[in-house]
Structure formats: C-alpha cells, structure tokens
Amino acid sequence: MGDRALQSRQGREDTMRIRSGLRLTPRWLPALLLASVCASANAEVGVTNDTILIGRTTGVTGSVAGSIKENTEAIDAYLAWINKQGGVNGRKVVLETIDDAFDPKKAGENARKLINDDRVFALFMPRGTPHTEAVLAIAEPAGVPVIAPSTGAEIFHTPVRPLVFNVRAKYQDEVIAAVRHFSTVAAQRIAFVGPTDSFGKDALKGFERGMAKEQLTPVLVATFDRAKGDSTSTVPDMLKADPQGVIVAASGTAAVTFIKAMRAQGSHAQFVSLSNNSSAAFVKDLGGDARGILMTQVSLAADSPRTALGREFARVAKPAGATSSYAAMEAYCAVKVLVEGLRRAGRDLTRKRFVEALDGMRKYDLGDMEIDYSPNHHTGSTFVEMTIIGANGNFLR
C-alpha cells in the first residue's frame, strides 16, 4: 500500500474515533450499533436505567385548583421521600404534570401529548369524570395504564377496564351513605343537585338507588350545566322545595356558590358534599357557611395519630409542607399504590409486568386501610365514612 493510501485510510479511522468519542477500530462499530438498537428496542417506553416517567393531567388552575394543590403537595412529598431512599428498584420516579384547567377537552389533549410526545410509562390521577373519560379515550388504545383516577364514577369500575386501577371508592357508594344518614336522623325531605355531565349523572344514580333502598321520594332533583358553572340557577326551585337535606354533587366553586347562595336566602337545609370537595381550600372558600356541612370521605384522616397511615403521613408528608387534609390523604394513598405496583413489577419493568403486579395486589395494607385488586376487580378501596365540618373548620368524625 502506498504512503498516500495509507494516510487516507488512517485519516478515516481517526475521524471515526473522534465522532464516536471512543477508541475503537472501525470493524467493531457495526456490532456496537446493533447492540444499541437492540437495547433501545427492548427498553419500555418511559423507563430508563435511572428513571421512570409518569404523566399527570389535572386542574392545576380552575375551579378545583385548591384541592389539586393539596393533592400535589402529598404526591411530591412521598415521591421525594421514596427517591431519597434510592427510588423504586434503583430508579427514581419522575412525575410530569400538565395543567388542564379542569377542562375535559384539554385533559384529552394533555393525555395525547404525555403519551405520544413525552413518552410516559403510565398516567396518574387525572381529576374529574368527563376528564378521565377523555384521558382514557387516548390511553386505552395506546396500552397505557391509568392509575388512581380522582373520580368515583361507576363507569371506571364496571365492567372492569384492564388498564384502569381505581384507588378511591365509588361516588354512588358515597351518595348512598349520605341518604342512609338522612334516613337515620329521620330527615324525609331530601333533594339532590348536580351537573348534567357524566359525574352528575353517576351521582344521581347513586341518589336514586339510595332513596329507593330507604323507601323515600326526593322532593327535588335539580341539575345545571357544568360548562356554564351556573349552579345558582337551581336555587329558586330548591328554596321552593324547602328540603331538610341536600346532597350536593358539584365540584369546587360550583358547590361553594350553591351552598352560599342557599344560606344567603335563609335556607336551613343540611348539606352533604362528596369527597371530591374534601379539602382545606373548600372549607376556606365557604368561610362562615362551612360549619355544620356534612362530607363523605374515601380515605382515612391525614391528621389522625390513631392509624398507621395517619402517623406515616405526619412523618413523611407534613415535614415537606403538605397540607393535612382528606384531599392530601387521597393523593397520598394513590401515590403509595403507584409506587407499590412499580416495586412489585421488578427491575425488568414493562407495562405488562406492571399491570400484572397490580392485578396480584390482594389485600394490600396501606396502613389501616386496604387496597384489593384482581384481574376481575379494579375498585381498590371501598372505604366511605361521614364527617362534619366543625366550628374551627376541621373535619369531625
């Protein structure tokens, strides 16, 4: 080989070494590239050697922003605690949250971005019934698990949706418990108010079931358009019906404005709000009208030292600045289930293994509160209890 040809060959080899950043001879490169391609092909979406990327769309702004803030404080505190200990099977759990302003259309758009563009491993805790419907319309065809939707709608429980793992109890169970309470205290004149969307319709079914079981007839069923947010449009008819008790199946500001308008008009009805409003922000927004309002709950109390879960919340979440509220505790339970499912799926993490791990999570003790899954049962918890807002704004059990 001549000097010029030898120099040309050596130049090509040197250039290849510079581009690769490695001291390799050219004949090794095809094998290296093949190995890299195979490794990428075998890696699960959203999973790297060091991280697991989870996506969340929720109402960071909008009518439920207050309770979402409390949710997020608890989630962030628990994940920080887990990651500080080395994460899950050697990987840190990273949560990417996008604001949907509590708009179902935006929730669906966010889900599409998280799945297609950001390439998340799973979706976590979307808020709202129509919002979760929009999320699932994207997630289920893509094979993406959705963990702990913050809604108790029956459609996410029956029939079982293989990729949806609920943590909290159903809205219908909450409404039935509220009707049963009214019947127990001999309140006969019971009314219902809720939006015309899928959330309101689901809660109304629970109301109808509960009233039939107690052999009661409602004095009024009032509905409003969630999109318009005009829950006060139902007030004149409600005042005319003069109920002893009203089950308020509305979210955030819609529930607040309805209750305040009723009180301003002199109503002495006993109001029951569902757990979707169980936050310190909701109590604050009600102000002087909060006292005496009943609320159904789907988790243990965050500030109770009597339960293992309450003590853990005080040890893990409170020092990180999380609000001690039922909204925070619902999220704390949800993120514990997410992390436990990832842990049980093992280091060789795939969506298939993750779903199988959750399906096998039988009678998992969160800390005096049980989660139970099987391939034919994705409800998680059936826990429901009644509380009342006290004079100082705390929840009394």
Mean pLDDT of the chain: 90
Domain identity same for 316 and 353: yes
Domain identity same for 209 and 241: yes
CATH of the domain at 196: 3.40.50.2300
Q: Token digits for 247? A: 């089950």
Strands (DSSP E) contained in 259-327 are: 270-273, 294-297
Q: Give the residue from 182, 172, 292, 197 showing the smallest Cα distance to 251.
A: 197
pLDDT, averaged per 10 consecutive residues of the chain (397 residues), comes to 45 37 38 39 85 98 95 98 98 98 97 98 97 98 98 96 98 97 96 96 97 98 89 97 97 94 97 94 95 96 95 97 96 98 98 98 96 98 96 90
Domain identity same for 69 and 175: no
pLDDT digits (tens, 9 = 90+) for 84-128: 999 999 999 999 999 999 999 999 999 999 999 999 999 999 999
In a domain, 36, yes or no: no
Domain identity same for 182 and 292: yes
The residue from 240, 273, 297 where one domain ends is: 297
CA-based Rg of the chain, rounded to a whole angstrom? Answer: 26
Domain identity same for 165 and 311: yes
Looking up tokens 């409404």 gives 175
The residue from 279, 297, 315 where one domain ends is: 297
Longest dimension (CA), the chain: 107
Q: What is the pLDDT of residue 22?
A: 33
Count other Cβ atoms within 10 Å, centred on residue 252: 23
Looking up tokens 């109001």 gives 271
Domain identity same for 219 and 269: yes
Domain identity same for 66 and 103: yes
Q: Give the residue from 153, 180, 157 showing the smallest Cα distance to 385.
A: 180
In a domain, 9, yes or no: no
Domain identity same for 245 and 104: no
| Number of domains into which the chain is organized | 2
Domain identity same for 233 and 287: yes
In a domain, 221, yes or no: yes
In a domain, 209, yes or no: yes
Q: Is 97 helix (H, G, I), strand (E, B) or coil?
A: strand
Domain identity same for 175 and 163: no
Q: Look up the domain containing 73 and give its range.
A: 51-169+302-382
Q: What is the pLDDT of residue 42?
A: 53
Q: Token digits for 329? A: 């505790």
Paired sense of beta strands 92-99 and 164-165, if any? unpaired
φ, ψ of residue 306 to 5 degrees: the values are -85, -15
